[in-house]
Amino acid sequence: MPVELARVAGVVAAAGLGVLLLAPWRWARLAGLAAWGAGAVGLLAYLEPITGTVRLTAAAAGLALASAALAAVFLRWPWLVALGALALAPARIPLDLGGEQAKLLVPLYVVIAGASLALAWQLSLGDGRARELGPLAWPVAALVTWFGLTLAWSDDVREGAVSLVAFYLPFGLLALVLARLPWSRRWLTALAIQLATMGIVFAAIGIFQWISRDVFWNPRVIVGNAYAPFYRVNSVFWDPSVYGRFLVLALLMLLVVVLFGRSLRLSILAVLAIAAVWTGLVFSFSQSSFGALIAGVLALGAIAWGRKAVLALAVVAAVLLAVGFAAESVRSELRRDVDRVTSGRYDLVRNGVRIAADRPASGVGLGSFEVAYAEHTGLTGDEPRQAASHTTPVTVAAETGLPGLLLFAWLVAVPLVLGFRRASRSFAGRVSLIVALAVLAIGVHSLFYSAFFEDPMTWGALGLSALVAAWRGDGR
């Protein structure tokens, strides 16, 4: 497929998802869903993930059969979409896209395809619900549509197409499907138990890796462990930071159970689970994950004990930092080694801000950060690979301009306001708090590891935020 048609396909798919999220009419939503699917197919055709007509036909037939079977299951037990999505969140499979290998959530895409067929069937039978994402409908629709539109002037259409077809388009639909689920305390409890169980199992695998000195999958981590003064583990995940982020979400949920739960037995079990998951997190040695955990714990402390207690802790931390930086040796060391300490991210952020300032209205286009960074700094050959951004807000500002950055801020602010405002000891209040903490933790993590939109947990939290907001009267 020519690159111009790929740009059109991206715009059509993103606009179709926007219509599906916002349109009040059933026929318009069906048209939006059809445009979403057609545009996604067009992007896949451009990327050519599978070579050969026979293999492509076999893959399409297999996907159609699996999706149809899953759609029938989801129509009968809709909450299995949420449980299945959570179970498959870590399952990344290497796939050739456009001549380069990417590690994508292929099994999860099959679940989302089944959910999309179930949604199409419901709409065709007269389902009159609309704007299920409630207060999140506009920010999600506007963000995805604008990001898709920026593909029209992107200098790296391949990378932008991968971002759209692998993350924004499927995960945006996943958020919508989760927001449509019927409110069920039993199923939400099952989802929480599943998250805690997965956290414990993944932590146990990580602890085993640390004891046995045997890391799976990632050769880069294996080589790094041979020279680093500490031994990092990744459990079943590819990257230790992604592993750590998942454990942080499980830890924050368990902390809510301890602080806001009403069952002593359940609180004791949660404390034991926290000990196991925390141990696994320590061996990830993920600084971004610890930062996300600290932010979540401070927010949780403010809700549980009041803002004064958290303010006192913040003042103590500020005083300690001020005392430490008072020494000239510390300040000079920090100035000299700030880029080394941040693993080169300081320069990435600084140059990313400059790229954003050069084109504030439109950005350089979705997926073009590395190309623009190479042009800005003079990198050549394979060196642009070193320019992968590690900070989501900077990437968003550089690629999609000030409009994209404002939409990103809007998207993050809504679930935080909804969740923290309605936090309480009731079941719905605890769910509100857990979802808000998840968005906060992933948002803080994305300041150091640019994977806010690439994590299905983000979109799952957005969908559940809309679900609990509607249940509590703040949504539709």
Average pLDDT over residues 158-163: 91
Same domain, 140 and 274: no
pLDDT of residue 26: 93
Same domain, 194 and 174: no
Counting the structural domains of the chain, the total is 2
pLDDT of residue 200: 97
Residue 46 neighbours by CB under 8 Å, 6+ apart: 1, 3, 5, 6, 9, 98, 157, 158, 161
Residue 72 lies in a domain: yes
User: What mean pLDDT is reported for the chain?
Assistant: 86
Q: Please, which pLDDT band fits residue 312 given cuts at 50, 70 and 90?
A: low
Same domain, 198 and 93: no
Residues paired with 103 in a beta bridge: 94
pTM of the model: 0.89
Q: Residue 266: what residue type?
A: L
Residue 357 lies in a domain: no
pLDDT of residue 344: 52
User: Of 308, 325, 342, which one is at a domain's C-terminal end?
Assistant: 325
Q: What are phi and psi of 95, to 5 degrees?
A: -145, 140
Residue 351 lies in a domain: no
pLDDT of residue 324: 47
Residue 97 has pLDDT above 80, yes or no: no
Residue 275 lies in a domain: yes
pLDDT in tens, 370-380: 888 888 777 66
pLDDT of residue 339: 46
Q: State the Cα–Cα distance between residues 21 and 32, nearest whole angstrom.
A: 9
Q: Residue 288: what residue type?
A: S
Counting residues of the chain whose pLDDT is more than 90, the rounded percentage is 57
User: Of 325, 358, 373, which one is at a domain's C-terminal end?
Assistant: 325
Counting residues of the chain whose pLDDT is more than 70, the rounded percentage is 85
Same domain, 13 and 152: yes
Same domain, 218 and 80: no
Neighbours of 220 (CB within 10 A): 11
Residue 380 lies in a domain: no
Same domain, 118 and 235: no
Q: Does residue 171 contact residue 456 with C-beta atoms inside 8 Å? A: yes
Average pLDDT over residues 39-58: 74
Residue 247 neighbours by CB under 8 Å, 6+ apart: 199, 202, 203, 277, 280, 281, 284, 289
Same domain, 121 and 12: yes
pLDDT of residue 203: 96
Residue 115 has pLDDT above 70, yes or no: yes
pLDDT of residue 394: 92
Domain holding 299, by residue range, is: 187-325
pLDDT of residue 352: 83
Same domain, 214 and 301: yes
Q: Does residue 229 contact residue 273 with C-beta atoms inside 8 Å? A: no
Residue 255 has pLDDT above 50, yes or no: yes
Same domain, 214 and 316: yes
Among 191, 93, 140, 104, which residue's Cα sits nearest to residue 458? 140
